[in-house]
Amino acid sequence: MKGGRKYKAQGDAFSHAVHAGQGPRTAVACTHARTGRHYARRVNVDECRALSAGTIPTTWARTLPGLAWVPGSGAISLDVLPESVWVAFAPLTARRTAPRRLICPHCTRPCRSVYASPYGPQGQPDEQVGCRACLGLTHPARQRHKCPDWAAQVLEHPQNHSPTTRRRALQVINGSASRILHAVRLAGHIEPLEK
């Protein structure tokens, strides 16, 4: 736009927070393949090692106060090793005998799984241990947001979603459609399905 306001890339709020040292304890540093822009994204639970309460032997869960977990190898033991993290079990209740809940070593809240992320707050190689909430982890299902299959699902049952969500889904569908049309135009012709 000639003479208009100068456009300046602002970046997203999450990347800003990470670069300012106000992001979660773990993040992934990314570079956009096409534009070369640097940004940060949340770490996925699938990218972390996990210790789940359900996988702890029942006898341990019933009788012990906690265990030592080695995130690198996934080993669990009763001996605290230099590379291990002590994960305490939440107290037993009348209803809950086993599996017990785990106590997050960082925020001390009861949780079902404790995770070890391979990245530090700026995306550097590191080991950060904690629950999903205090590491700010995300789930793959959440990242489907704004993808064409997410949009299709929203528009299939529009009554289940807010007007804002429906509008965003329509934008996603329109965006993908115009990209497809653009690609087809670049290809010059459409291959016939059957010869």
Site residues, Zn ion (CB under 5 A): 104, 106-107, 130-131, 134
Q: Are 100 and 52 contacting, i.e. CB atoms less than 8 angstroms apart?
A: no
Buried b (16+ CB within 10 A) or exposed e, 170-187: eebeeeeeeeeeeeeeee
When the beta carbons of 84 and 113 are compared against Zn ion, the nearer one is 113
Whichever of 107 and 147 has its CB closer to Zn ion, that residue is 107
Q: How many residues does the chain have?
A: 195
Which is nearer to Zn ion, 130 or 136 (by Cβ)? Answer: 130
Structural tokens at position 94: 């009348």
> CB atoms < 10 A from the CB of 154, how many?
20
Nearer to Zn ion, 107 or 180 (CB): 107
The three-point CA angle 79-84-86 to 5° equals 70
**Minimal distance, residue 130 CB to Zn ion, in Å:** 4
DSSP run (H or E) holding 148: helix 148-156
Q: How far is the CB of 47 from Zn ion (least distance, A)?
A: 17
CB of 104 to Zn ion, least distance (A): 3
Q: Shortest Cβ distance from residue 133 to Zn ion (Å)?
A: 6
